[in-house]
Amino acid sequence: MSIQKTLSLIKPDAVAKNVTGSVNARLEQAGLRIVAQKRFQLTKTQAEAFYKVHSDKAFYDSLCEFMSSGPIIAQVLCGEDAVAKNREVMGATNPANAEIGTIRRDFGESIEHNAVHGSDSIENAAIEIAFFFSGLEIME
């Protein structure tokens, strides 16, 4: 067990549904602290850069279109085992397969429009946090 930071994104579908406060409440109820947060819209090029690990996938272009289609909330979450805990609170990639009570099950629309992103490892969390935030913006 260790105190970690992880990157969370509330995706354009959940922002459009006006459920960002509900998502944040789920994160906080799980013991995660939002230590940085901002709202903005990615360009398609920025979305492509963020998701470049998926550039060989059939869904890559559609995913990047979606992620740049409207405002998102980017946030840094901090807490005990934050990377795994956030993934647990998010639920499975496909909302249809996600556990009841998870963010994706309750707010996701489809495997692509699945409400939130969360880093999948401590190493990727550091890379993804640095993609969106400067050290000055993170207030622990």
Least Å distance between CB 136 and Mg ion? 27
Among 35, 111, 122, 126, binds ligand ADP (CB under 6 A): 111
120-139 footprint of Mg ion as x/- string (CB under 5 A): x-------------------
Residue 8 phi, psi dihedral angles, 5° rounding: -120, 140
- For residues 99 and 96, give the distance between their C-alpha atoms in angstroms, rounded to a whole number: 9
* 118 closest CA partner among 49, 55, 34, 56: 34
- Establish if 117 lies at the interface with ligand ADP (CB under 6 A): yes
The 3-state DSSP class for residue 98 equals coil
Residue 15 phi, psi dihedral angles, 5° rounding: -65, -40
The question of whether 113 is a catalytic residue gets the answer no
- Establish if 63 lies at the interface with ligand ADP (CB under 6 A): yes
- For residues 124 and 121, give the distance between their C-alpha atoms in angstroms, rounded to a whole number: 5
The 3-state DSSP class for residue 6 equals strand
For ligand ADP, the closer of residues 128 and 140 by Cβ is 128
- Establish if 40 lies at the interface with ligand ADP (CB under 6 A): no
For Mg ion, the closer of residues 106 and 120 by Cβ is 120
- Establish if 73 lies at the interface with ligand ADP (CB under 6 A): no
Residues that bind ligand ADP (CB under 6 A): 54, 59, 63, 93, 111-112, 114, 117, 120
